[in-house]
Amino acid sequence: MDSLGLFILLMLLCFQWTTAPAGKEATWTYTGLVGQSEWSQYFPECAGTSQSPVDVVTTQTKYDPSLLPLTPLGYSQHGNKPFSLYNNGHTVVIKLPEWMGLGGLPWLYTAVQMHLHWGSGGPSHGGAEHTINGQSADAELHVVHYNSELYPDMSTAMMQSDGLAVLGILIVTGEETNTAFNNILNYLSRIRHADQKVFIPAFDIQSLLPKDLGRYYRYNGSLTTPPCYQSVIWTLFNERVQISQTQLLKLETILYSSKSEESDRMLLQDNYRATQLLNHRVVFASFSAESGKELSSGEVTAIVIGVMCGCVGLAVIIRFIVKTIRFFTLLHRESVVVNSSTSSWDVLPSNRPAPMLRMKEPEKGKEKKQDMALKSTSEAEKKEEPSPSPQTEP
Ligand SMILES: *[C@@H]1O[C@H](CO)[C@@H](O)[C@H](O)[C@H]1NC(C)=O
């Protein structure tokens, strides 16, 4: 028994030793000692080739007509059970009830949680994770689901390639207050420090999403935080949602990444990861870029002016060509007339142009009548040339 006790003690010590570095899992940050560029030293998957977020270059996306509108399931049936709002030191997390899910993917996905990413410099200073054509939004909402058809729970699913489905919603700043987001923002002051949690009244999660759920980008990627598992089917909506400047300011300045017992308070800001290389991946679009573009009035004006200039230019060119043709035709006729004095037998055909041709080619002639009429003078000559008719000599 003594030796067994010693063995267990040794095992426990060993376990302590081996898990000690793993304790750093809780200490990763966005900048500093275990910042983004160091994540892969502790979490190897962060150096993978299918990482998120990415920059979506719209001209390089591939339109896939089989990508149907996503259907949030039960997002609006929140029931009366309060949601929990939690500051985990990296973001604010809202736990979602298990009856919420996602339809429109090859499997049924069950909602787990949602959280936000943001910046620090106010509007137009970044904060979102995904970018579109290099353009950054002010914040980004992620709604996380796991594949409940194939896997029993989130922790199993998050390590499988088709395990997770995350919705990415880009948030920009505008004039109007987005009352849906106040369901979260109004309670941030109760969870200012890391590890703090509060229950908030349940609300309609769908009200946080853009109206147009039919237009989105789809690609295979990863968790945007350690351990960066490459298990996420990403859906990034084309439509952005808008919050007010005051709302963005709340998000950026209320929370701390430090715990309440820590003396050095650290604001929880700039909790977004830099965009990662696409590598071999393709970003699919559920809509085609041409029809998808809504033009601003400036763009419309530019196009109208462009088209008008183009038309005027074309008219000038056509006029020039027509004039040149007329000039050369006249020149040719004159030379023919001059020639007629010496070898005159090719003058006659040019004097009776179109009717002769129509009689020769009755079927073909219909559509080309006008063309023929124009060219007839010169063509008639060519055609008549080989036919020996020297008897018409005057
Ligand atoms: C994601 O990867 C799977 C194979 O692992 C593939 O079948 C699927 O088409 C990919 N989806 C996208 C959007 O690239």
pLDDT given at position 373: 45
In a domain, 61, yes or no: yes
In a domain, 378, yes or no: no
In a domain, 336, yes or no: no
What CATH number corresponds to the domain at position 62?
A: 3.10.200.10
pLDDT given at position 289: 63
Average pLDDT, the chain: 83
Does ligand 1 come within 6 angstroms of the Cβ of 216?
Answer: no
Does ligand 1 come within 6 angstroms of the Cβ of 160?
Answer: no
Question: How confident is the model over 34-48, as a mean pLDDT?
Answer: 95
In a domain, 236, yes or no: yes
Element (H, E) at 10: helix 2-19
Does ligand 1 come within 6 angstroms of the Cβ of 220?
Answer: yes
Q: Is the pLDDT of residue 334 over 70?
A: no
d(CA 94, CA 83): 7
Does ligand 1 come within 6 angstroms of the Cβ of 219?
Answer: yes
pLDDT given at position 353: 47
In a domain, 133, yes or no: yes
Q: Which runs of E-coded beta strand occur in 226-379?
A: 232-237, 241-244, 284-285
Does ligand 1 come within 6 angstroms of the Cβ of 161?
Answer: yes
In a domain, 13, yes or no: no
Does ligand 1 come within 6 angstroms of the Cβ of 284?
Answer: yes
Q: Is the pLDDT of residue 374 over 50?
A: no
In a domain, 345, yes or no: no
Give the pLDDT confidence of 90-129 residue by residue, as tens digits: 999 999 999 999 999 999 999 999 999 999 999 999 999 9
- Cβ(350)–Cβ(380) under 8 Å? yes
In a domain, 243, yes or no: yes
Q: Is the pLDDT of residue 67 over 60?
A: yes
Does ligand 1 come within 6 angstroms of the Cβ of 43?
Answer: no
Give the pLDDT confidence of 247-293 residue by residue, as tens digits: 999 999 999 999 999 999 999 999 999 999 999 999 999 999 665 45
pLDDT given at position 375: 47
pLDDT given at position 141: 98
DSSP 101-168: EEESSSS-EEEEEEEEEE-SSSTTS---SSEETTEE-SEEEEEEEEETTT-SSHHHHTTSTTSEEEEE
Distance 95 CA to ligand 1 centre (A): 28
Above pLDDT 70, what percent of the chain?
A: 75
Residue nearest to atom 2 of ligand 1 (CA): 220
Residue of 90, 130, 142, 145 marked active site = 90
Q: Which runs of E-coded beta strand occur in 230-297?
A: 232-237, 241-244, 284-285
Distance 317 CA to ligand 1 centre (A): 51
Pocket mutation for ligand 1, best pick of 60, 220, 230, 279 (most atoms within 8 Å of C-beta): 220
- Cβ(272)–Cβ(140) under 8 Å? yes
Distances from the Cα of 13 to the Cαs of 8, 17, 83, 290, in angstroms?
Answer: 9, 6, 40, 63
Q: Report residue 337's pLDDT band, with 50, 70 and 90 as the boundaries.
A: low
Phi, then psi, of 327 in degrees rounded to 5? -60, -50
Q: Is the pLDDT of residue 382 over 50?
A: no
Q: Is the pLDDT of residue 380 over 80?
A: no
Closest ligand 1 atom, CA of 219? 13
DSSP 343-366: S-TTHHHHHS-HHHHHHH-TTTHH
pLDDT given at position 2: 56
Distance 151 CA to ligand 1 centre (A): 18
Give the pLDDT confidence of 209-262 residue by residue, as tens digits: 999 999 999 999 999 999 999 999 999 999 999 999 999 999 999 999 999 999
Closest ligand 1 atom, CA of 282? 14
Q: Report residue 80's pLDDT band, with 50, 70 and 90 as the boundaries.
A: confident
Does ligand 1 come within 6 angstroms of the Cβ of 218?
Answer: yes
Question: How confident is the model over 362-378, as a mean pLDDT?
Answer: 46
pLDDT given at position 277: 97
Distance 282 CA to ligand 1 centre (A): 9
User: Helix, strand, or coil here: 33?
Assistant: coil
pLDDT given at position 316: 87
pLDDT given at position 257: 95
pLDDT given at position 291: 53
Does ligand 1 come within 6 angstroms of the Cβ of 151?
Answer: no
Above pLDDT 90, what percent of the chain?
A: 64
Distance 233 CA to ligand 1 centre (A): 8
Q: Look at the chain and report how many structural domains it folds into.
A: 1
Distance 218 CA to ligand 1 centre (A): 10
Distance 235 CA to ligand 1 centre (A): 13
- The terminus-to-terminus CA distance of the chain in angstroms comes to 138
Whether the pTM exceeds 0.95: the reply is no
Lowest mean pLDDT among 206-215, 235-244, 305-314, 348-357: 348-357
CA-based nearest residue to 193, from 84, 89, 264, 85: 89
Residue 78 a catalytic site member: no
Could you tell me how far CA 142 lies from the centroid of its own chain?
16
Does ligand 1 come within 6 angstroms of the Cβ of 279?
Answer: no
Give the pLDDT confidence of 180-189 residue by residue, as tens digits: 999 999 999 9
Domain carrying residue 72: 23-306
Residue nearest to atom 5 of ligand 1 (CA): 161
More confident residue, 383 or 141: 141
